[in-house]
Amino acid sequence: MAPLLAAPASSSPKLCRSWRVLLGLLALLVAVDLSAADMYSEIELVWGASRTFFFMDGDSEAVALSLDPWQGSCFRSREKYLYVQVDVEIKLIQGDSAGTVCTIYMISEDPWEIHDEIDLEFLGNVTGQPYTLHTNIFANGVGGREQQFRLWFDPTADYHTYSIVWNPKHILILVDGKAIRDFKNNEDQGVPFPTWQSMRTFGSLWSAEDWATQGGRIKTDWSLAPFVGYYRNYNATWCRPSPGVAWCGDEPKSSTRFDLDQKTLADLQWARANQMIYTTAPTPSGSTPPLSPRSARCNNEKKTTTHSHRSDWMIDHIVITLHQFISSCTAGPSGLNIGKI
């Protein structure tokens, strides 16, 4: 049986440390029965299946995406949504993550020329420097509505909840329940707003070293690969219509149901004043330069075959990979200290 991940041919201490992180994650899978995992039933792998792992993080079901010099990884929701609140907890790559992009976003499918999209992209940085949360919204193929924020905490130290709230009047982006961005429905003023195309949720980890970190001046240190980002507790809550209304899109315009409350307005004002670092005006579709193959958007890739995740299948691969790892690190520490992920 071919190994899930081939251990490096020759191992520096830095490479051995990187492989301990991934092997520690693999070790968590040995004692886990994933057949009933709710997150596994909510999402499916799109590409990079051999670099993606379902596991139990405490009492929570989680998935880890990884990126190496050859490929990243991606999942998507099995369901499509039209007006929804999506919540997911994410723990970002620790240490030097320059050039990497970890995402959670929603996007419609064909036709691409008039697609809708809601983006949260976490741009990696060198050790000790903050992540940038890059957001963008496309409606009917028109994007360029970019806003960037600095987070007010270390997003690599623990999980934090990131949310997209999409209803007929607003698209809100929240961090730990605090609204940081609002895109209001102003279709009556000629501004496109997503109202009719259903969207899936995607999570991905990919390389954008040509632009992601300090304008591309800082490149990825691939000797630190694999890079790993963690997602858990994915939840999608459909918009429920009011009594007597067929669906949320039929809510009367006079309804105040989706109006923003005072706390949300205050949170938005605080985020704009204290955390926003960049914003743009809308531009025509197609203004973004094409992405390299390693950083291709996963919604355009052919879905890969998902693994069964049977524990015996995983144990076979773990044993092989551990054997290769120990052999490659014989010049390193005498003991294998996997530690806590």
Q: Which residues are catalytic?
A: 117, 121
**Buried b / exposed e along 264-274 (16+ C-beta atoms within 10 A):** beebbeebeee
Q: What does the alpha-carbon distance between residue 75 and residue 63 come to, in Å, rounded to a whole number?
A: 9
Beta strands 100-107; 200-207: pairing state = antiparallel
Assigned token pair, 318: 């773990």
Write out the DSSP string of 56-81.
EETTEEEEEEEE-SS--EEEEESS-B
Q: CA angle 191-137-152, nearest 5°?
A: 130
By the 8 A CB rule, do 303 and 44 touch?
yes
Three-state secondary structure string covering 202-253? EEEEEECCCCCCHHHCCCCCHHHCCEEEEEEEEEEEECCCCCCCCCHHHCCC
Residue at token pair 């963008």: 136
Residues 6+ apart with CB under 8 A from 239: 83, 84, 85, 166, 167, 247, 248
By the 8 A CB rule, do 100 and 93 touch?
yes
Cα 290 from chain centroid?
20
> 3-state DSSP call for residue 330?
coil
